[in-house]
Amino acid sequence: MTSQGSTRQPKYQRIADALRAAIRSGEYGPGDRLPGENDLMATYDVARMTARQALGVLQNEGLAEARKGAGVFVRAFRPLRRHGIQRLAQEQWGSGRSIWSTDSEDRELIVDQVEVHEERASDEIVVALDVPDGSPVWVRSRRFVLDGKPVLFATSYLPSDVVADSAITQSDTGPGGTYARLAELGHKPVHFREEVRCRMPSTDEAERLALSMGTPIIQIVRTAFAEDGRAVEVNEMTLDSASYVLEYDFDA
């Protein structure tokens, strides 16, 4: 018996619910092709636009991806669980491990694009780092690829008077990364603040992350503070929302 609530639900949403349930039950596994628009039109007696909207819902949720000329398939990529607190613990980067190793586990994570240069701080970075107008900052941009799929690109801004002539200005910062080098320079991060928001990507962001149409991004801006309260890094991260689960585990 159909409930009154479900009868008010749009047809495309009911079809999406049925397909989602079939994916979760294992009827359609990772990499399997989902019924196409013609199949859904015949099965549910709906118009093409309704069938297209139903498949679009699953793509927007990150459960499915369209392959040009082939159809819509169950997404085979396993989401990356980002441990928002554990990954920034001093025992992680302080022991020479990358903070990304907390998230990637035994999966292959590589940085395939690195750009490091010095520039004048923008108005936003001047405020975030609390530096004088026009101050020079070092900028580190990286793209991270997991299991062959781009999942994140990040751009860090660091005060030049703190990091000049250090390994932070090189492509490879060494064991423990930027935070370990900041500690060696006498500016060990002791406090972090992250701001998280979701939005649709720009054309450039969608291309850099190879996003399916309609997939939103997660934007995380992290500021690292040294013991004296000074902001020593601002890191702007852009994540493929369908590739991530954000996990925050802490005591009451």
Check pLDDT > 80 for residue 107. no
pTM summary value: 0.75
Q: How many domains does the chain have?
A: 2
Asked whether residue 13 falls in the same domain as residue 131, the answer is no
In this predicted model, what pLDDT tens digit does every residue of 22-60 receive, in sequence order?
Answer: 998 989 988 899 999 999 999 999 999 999 999 988 887
- Domain boundaries, position 46: 4-74
Alpha carbons 23 and 28: distance in angstroms, whole number: 5
Higher pLDDT, 147 or 116: 116
CB 222 within 8 A of CB 192: yes
Asked whether residue 39 falls in the same domain as residue 159, the answer is no
Residue with tokens 């799929």: 149
Domain boundary at 25, 44, 74, which? 74
CB 112 within 8 A of CB 148: no
Percent of the chain having pLDDT more than 90?
61
Asked whether residue 52 falls in the same domain as residue 84, the answer is no
Asked whether residue 63 falls in the same domain as residue 85, the answer is no
In this predicted model, what pLDDT tens digit does every residue of 179-189 receive, in sequence order?
Answer: 999 999 999 99
